[in-house]
Amino acid sequence: MTRGLWTRETVATLTLASLLPLAVFWIWLGGGQALSRWAFTLLVIAIWHLVFMLVRAQPPSLSALVTALAIAMLSPEELGLFQLTLGITFGVVMGELVFGGWGRNVVSPATVTLAFFGFGFPAAPWPVFDAPLAWAAIPAGLLGMMIGVMPAALLIVAASLGALAAGLGLVSNPVLYAAGIALVLLVADPVTSSSTLLGRCLQGALYAALLLLFASAWSGAAPPQIAVAAALLSSLAAPLFDDIALSLWVHRRRRRHGRT
């Protein structure tokens, strides 16, 4: 029998491909240190994927590369190897693997890991992103939308509201840069973002609204920390938005046709 290409691993590969502009710029600016950080994160994730393959017969996924990239880019600097390993282990195991692997998780493992770092090691300094790196998030998002592995409505709504807020001077540039990078790396994850059009618009709007709220009311928080917190809460709200969208759709169909 003939088979199509849009399997889980194809989507993981294409997601990585769409994030390549961001990854290349980050490695170019960060050099060997950035590369070794990505490699170490990937090693820890790969070990846990291997453990779950042997113990639970769960096939590993290439999405580990995307998760490792997001963690390596956004995690606090100057964390020791043990702290890094602990955070990655918590995020990957509790955020993804115990649910059955990529495709069945509720929250992105990278988001869980980064939130763990934020709560567990608040003294660790968060990275600062320069403008060129933040600009690279735009082609990454566009590629993801064109290939179809990133939710277009979510990206467009969040980016539009972010641009509006920046135009009105409501958010500073560092927050905007971190928010843009977190948007394509964490919020636009195809599995954990909303799957309905209305849900995606609402999730994008919530991400932008939370970002504005945290940027104005969370004193002392670093820009990546703000972006990660907004990403975590908006991802947790995604199933609720989907449920609202489906309920409205079913209600409309019942009113129009008398059945669904």
Partner 1 sequence: MTFFRSGAGLIPEFPSPHENTDILDVATEEAGVQPPFGQALHVTPLVAEGELVARGAAVACLRNAPDICLVAPIPGRVARISLLPGRKLSEIILFREENGGIARHAIAASTTGAELRRLMQTAGFWPRLRRRPFGGMPKGDEVPAAIFVMGVDTRPYAPDPQQALEGREASFERGLAALYSVTDGPVFVCWPDGSKVPGVQTKEGDLRWITCGPRHPQGSAGIRIHQAFPAGLDATVWDIHAEDVADLGELLDTGALPVTRLLRIAGAGLREGLSVRTHPGADLRQLTRRIAAPGPHVLMSGSHLDGRPARWLGHRHRQVTVLPRDEARPRPHWLIAALTETAATRPVIPTAALNQSLGAVLHATPFIRALGAGDDELAMDLGLLSLLEEDVALADYALGADGGIMQQVRAMLDRIRVEYAP
Q: What does the binding site for partner 1 look like in residue numbers (CB under 8 A)?
A: 1-8, 10-12, 53-54, 57-60, 100-104, 147-149, 151-152, 190-191, 193, 195-196, 242, 245-246, 249-250, 253, 257-260
| Angstrom distance (rounded) from CA 112 to CA 108 | 7
Q: Which two tokens stand for residue 232?
A: 């975590």
Question: Which CA distances in Å does 76 have to 69, 118, 235, 251?
Answer: 13, 8, 21, 46
Q: How far is the CB of 103 from partner 1 (least distance, A)?
A: 3
Q: How far is the CB of 250 from partner 1 (least distance, A)?
A: 5
Q: How far is the CB of 254 from partner 1 (least distance, A)?
A: 9
Q: Which is nearer to partner 1, 18 or 75 (CB)?
A: 18
Q: How far is the CB of 59 from partner 1 (least distance, A)?
A: 5
- Helix residue ranges, H only, the chain: 8-56, 63-74, 81-95, 109-120, 131-147, 152-167, 173-182, 197-217, 223-257
Q: Which is nearer to partner 1, 57 or 168 (CB)?
A: 57
Q: Which is nearer to partner 1, 173 or 260 (CB)?
A: 260
Q: Which two tokens stand for residue 52?
A: 């779950």
Q: Which is nearer to partner 1, 99 or 121 (CB)?
A: 99
CA atoms within 13 A on the CB side of 51: 11
